[in-house]
């Protein structure tokens, strides 16, 4: 593996450090080389973590050879679960489990109003044990702070109840459990820190503040030989899950981590680096050193009819052709899933409830042979819901009953009707399949299948296939978060017109940057998301703006940022 001098320093250096790396700097590659180096020393153990599974898999895939089982490669979440939450949850009061519950948490009524409800797992703990709501709650009036203030004690009590009685805990709250345990039991923290000589956290900027606080507790024990945080604070785009770039820096400062930098971009052209510079807080543009550094294609801005985003796709194809970049090497990026869907222009629009839609997608996956474990779990949960009602979930069953439930779920999905009929008929066939599955585990199902899989008259006019298996396409729109850590020859970032129910701060951001005014706090996250989006491109990036008055003004102003208007 060819490493630059700067990267080699990352591999070699001893002691704690925070590596600040620019996009395309090869930080994960350097991290993987470092892990191999440290793991190769006799008697040492390394935990190499990342925030997402994708990130962890990327580290693993870059290792020269698989590590011995005494090392750890995985998410920070798994690390803390395995070494703190699973072995010691009982010390935090759980009578059973612990059991991680991913979805379908009951909701909390706010202001005593049945219509204003927030699922319990939307409330997260901060490092002081206060609740916060990180995602906007459109169905509920008032700011997040107001919502929390009105229900904090009730939500905490319910969460504690679930945890105490059933060991049930949300993914985020599990990290709070880990933090409280590490704080309360220094001997556990010390033993955990002793388990590894080095803990390396890639994508540290995305790591949640609870996870960072846990890592801080481990560092505090003094039993860790080295702590390495690697990330790009400019690429922190998970604030809605409690990530904080500042927290990362604060931990580094508090624990006296040295700061190292990688500022050579091996991915993008210099022109892209220059344009992207405006979307980060660094004073200097990253220097392009990769194969494409001298690529002459300018970043571009274009306008699309604001009520027909699909036209942006056509425009992008045109530009790609002009620059002779195959569509296979390009990506279309949008901020949110709603925009992704309108860009994809799913031909047929039908209003299908969440559960029948999910089951239909599951049937598609089954037909294509891409059924995943999470699909199977969903099927089990649905059968359990039908058979036992709300009160009992798969996690409440003993092993034998669980095996039986698995069999029932198989019966259910294998009896699903074929995908060629109309949707209404299909859903009614699915109901029968569900009843048949549930009958295997309960004599009288507690919930009628019809309550779980509802269909409407309008479903009669469409087929399952047209709704759920759109024809394959060469250019698939996706969210910025889903492309993190990857790159493409070209990207298009589609900016959406602000919308009452879905305010984005993208416009404000472009405004502020074009006019050189200060970026508001809300727009900071947008800035980092845009930075991530632009720096995915090796050679060409296009920003598509809605053709509105404001959009046109921004397009005009962005010429000064190094974009060409097309």
Partner 1 sequence: MRIKALQSKGYRNLAGEVELCSPLAVLVGENNAGKSNLVDALRTVLEPEGGPRERCWLRLEDFTHDGHGGDPIEEELELGVVLSDLTPAEKGRLVTCLSPKTGADCARIRMRARLGADGRVLTEWLGGDSEHADVERHARSAVSFVYLHPLRDAAADLRPGRDNKLIGLINALAPRGDADRDAIVAAAQAANDALDAITAIMRARAAIANRLNSMTGRGRFTQQSDLAFHDPRFERVVGSLRAKIGELSALEMRENGLGYNNLLYMAVLLAAIADQPGDSEPTLRVLLVEEPEAHLHPQLQELLMRFLESQAVATTQVIVTSHSPTFASSARVERLTVLTKMPSGPPQARVPATFGLEEKQLSYLHRFLDVTKAALFFARGVVLVEGVAEQLLIPALAQRMGRPLAPSGVTVINVGGVAFPPFTALFGEERLTSKVAVVSDGDRQRDVESELDGAPTDLSPRAADLLETAGANLAVLLAERTLEWDLAAAGNVDVMLKALTAVKPRVGAALEKQLQGASREDAADAILDKVKDVKGRFAQELAAILDDDAVSFEIPKYLQDAIKWVADELPAAGLLPEPMER
236, two tokens? 């922190």
Query: Least distance (Å) from partner 1 to the CB of residue 226?
Result: 15
Residue 114: CB atoms within 10 A of its CB come to 8
Q: How far is CA 384 from CA 132, 371, 394, 409, 423, in A?
A: 32, 19, 6, 9, 24
Distance CA 246, CA 254 (A): 12
In the complex, least distance from residue 194 CB atom to partner 1, rounded to whole angstroms: 3
The residue (of 167 and 216) whose beta carbon lies closer to partner 1 is 167
Q: Taking the complex as a whole, how short is the minimal distance between the CB of residue 387 and partner 1, in angstroms? A: 18
188 vs 495 by CB, closer to partner 1: 188
464-467 LR contacts (CB < 8 Å, sep 24+): 464/360, 464/363, 464/419, 464/420, 464/421, 464/422, 464/423, 464/426, 465/419, 465/420, 466/347, 466/348, 467/346, 467/348, 467/350, 467/352, 467/360, 467/423
Would you list the DSSP string of 239-265? GGGTB-HHHHHHHHHHTT-EEEEE-EE
By beta-carbon proximity to partner 1, the closer residue of 62 and 191 is 191
C-beta of 167 vs 394, nearer to partner 1: 167
* Of 395 and 466, CB closest to partner 1: 395
Name the residues that contact partner 1, by CB under 8 A: 42-43, 69-70, 81-83, 86-91, 96-98, 167, 185, 187-188, 190-196, 223, 399-400, 403
CA angle at 231 for the pair 226 and 233, rounded to the nearest 5°: 125
The two tokens of residue 487 are: 């790159």
Name which of 82 and 550 has its Cβ closer to partner 1: 82
Q: How far is the CB of 538 from partner 1 (least distance, A)?
A: 40
Whether residue 315 contacts residue 304, with contact meaning beta carbons closer than 8 Å, is answered with yes
Structure tokens at 2: 């060819």
Q: Which is nearer to partner 1, 48 or 81 (CB)?
A: 81
State the nearest-atom distance from the C-beta of 173 to partner 1, in Å. Answer: 16
Residue 223 Cβ vs partner 1, minimum distance, rounded to whole Å:
7
- Compare residues 199 and 352 and give the one whose CB is closer to partner 1: 199
One-character DSSP codes across 458-481 = GGGGSBHHHHH-PPP-SS-EEETG
195 versus 385: smaller Cβ distance to partner 1: 195
74 or 299: CB nearest partner 1: 74
Laid out side by side, the sheet with 300-304 consists of: 477-479, 330-334, 488-494, 537-546, 300-304, 564-565
Minimum distance from CB of 88 to partner 1 (Å)?
Answer: 7
Alpha-carbon gap, residue 459 to 533, rounded angstroms: 37
> Residue 326, Cα to own-chain centre: how many angstroms?
28
Nearer to partner 1, 80 or 268 (CB): 80
CB of 46 to partner 1, least distance (A): 13
Give residues with Cβ within 8 angstroms of 252, minimum separation 6: 18, 229, 259
Question: Least distance from C-beta 8 to partner 1, angstroms?
Answer: 25
**Mind spelling out the 3-state secondary structure of 181-236?**
HHHHCHHHHHHHHHHCCEEEECCHHHCEHHHHHHHHHHHHCCCCCEEEEEECHHHC
CA dihedral 194→196→200→204, nearest 10 degrees, is -50
> Cβ 62 to partner 1, closest distance in Å?
23
- Minimum CB–partner distance for residue 395 and partner 1 (Å): 12
């Amino acid at each position: 593996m060819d490493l630059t001098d700067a990267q080699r320093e990352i591999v070699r250096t001893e002691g704690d450090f925070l590596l600040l790396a620019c996009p395309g700097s090869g930080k994960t590659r350097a991290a993987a080389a470092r892990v191999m180096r440290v793991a190769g020393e006799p008697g040492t153990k390394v935990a190499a973590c990342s925030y997402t599974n994708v990130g962890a898999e990327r580290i693993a895939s870059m290792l020269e050879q698989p590590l011995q089982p005494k090392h750890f490669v995985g998410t920070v979440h798994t690390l803390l679960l395995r070494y703190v939450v699973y072995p010691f949850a009982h010390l935090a009061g759980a009578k059973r489990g612990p059991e991680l519950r991913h979805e379908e948490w009951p909701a909390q009524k706010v202001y005593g109003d049945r219509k204003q409800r927030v699922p319990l797992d939307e409330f997260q703990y901060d490092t002081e044990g206060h609740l916060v709501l990180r995602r906007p709650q459109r169905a509920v009036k008032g700011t997040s702070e107001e919502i929390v203030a009105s229900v904090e004690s009730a939500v905490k009590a319910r969460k504690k109840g679930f945890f105490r009685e059933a060991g049930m805990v949300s993914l985020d709250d599990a990290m709070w459990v880990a933090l409280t345990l590490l704080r309360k039991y220094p001997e556990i923290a010390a033993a955990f820190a002793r388990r590894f000589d080095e803990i390396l956290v890639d994508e540290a900027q995305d790591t949640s503040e609870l996870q960072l606080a846990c890592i801080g507790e481990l560092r505090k024990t003094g039993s860790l030989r080295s702590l390495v945080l690697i990330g790009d604070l400019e690429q922190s785009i998970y604030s809605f899950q409690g990530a904080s770039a500042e927290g990362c820096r604060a931990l580094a400062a508090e624990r006296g981590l040295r700061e190292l930098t990688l500022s050579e971009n091996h991915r993008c052209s210099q022109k892209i680096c220059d344009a992207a510079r405006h979307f980060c807080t660094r004073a200097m543009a990253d220097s392009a050193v990769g194969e494409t550094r001298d690529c002459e294609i300018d970043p571009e801005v274009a306008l699309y009819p604001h009520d027909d985003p699909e036209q942006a796709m056509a425009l992008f194809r045109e530009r790609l052709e002009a620059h002779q970049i195959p569509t296979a090497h390009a990506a279309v990026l949008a901020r949110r899933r709603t925009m992704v869907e309108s860009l994809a222009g799913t031909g047929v629009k039908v209003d299908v409830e969440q559960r029948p839609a999910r089951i239909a997608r599951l049937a598609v996956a089954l037909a294509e042979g891409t059924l995943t474990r999470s699909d199977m779990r969903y099927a089990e949960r649905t059968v359990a819901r039908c058979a036992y009602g709300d009160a009992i979930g798969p996690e409440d069953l003993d092993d034998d009953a669980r095996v039986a439930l698995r069999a029932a779920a198989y019966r259910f999905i294998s009896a699903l009707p074929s995908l060629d009929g109309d949707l209404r008929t299909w859903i009614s066939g699915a109901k029968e399949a569900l009843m048949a599955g549930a009958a295997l585990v309960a004599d009288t199902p507690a919930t009628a299948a019809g309550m779980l899989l509802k269909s409407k008259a309008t479903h009669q006019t469409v087929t399952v296939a047209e709704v759920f298996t759109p024809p394959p396409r060469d250019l698939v729109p996706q969210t910025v978060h889903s492309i993190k850590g990857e790159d493409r020859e070209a990207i298009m970032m589609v900016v959406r017109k602000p919308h009452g129910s879905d305010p984005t701060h993208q416009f404000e951001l472009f405004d502020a940057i074009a006019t050189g005014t200060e970026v508001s706090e809300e727009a900071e996250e947008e800035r980092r998301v845009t930075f991530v989006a632009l720096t995915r491109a090796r050679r060409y990036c296009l920003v598509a703006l809605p053709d509105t008055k404001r959009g046109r003004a921004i397009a005009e102003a962005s010429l000064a940022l190094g974009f060409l208007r097309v």
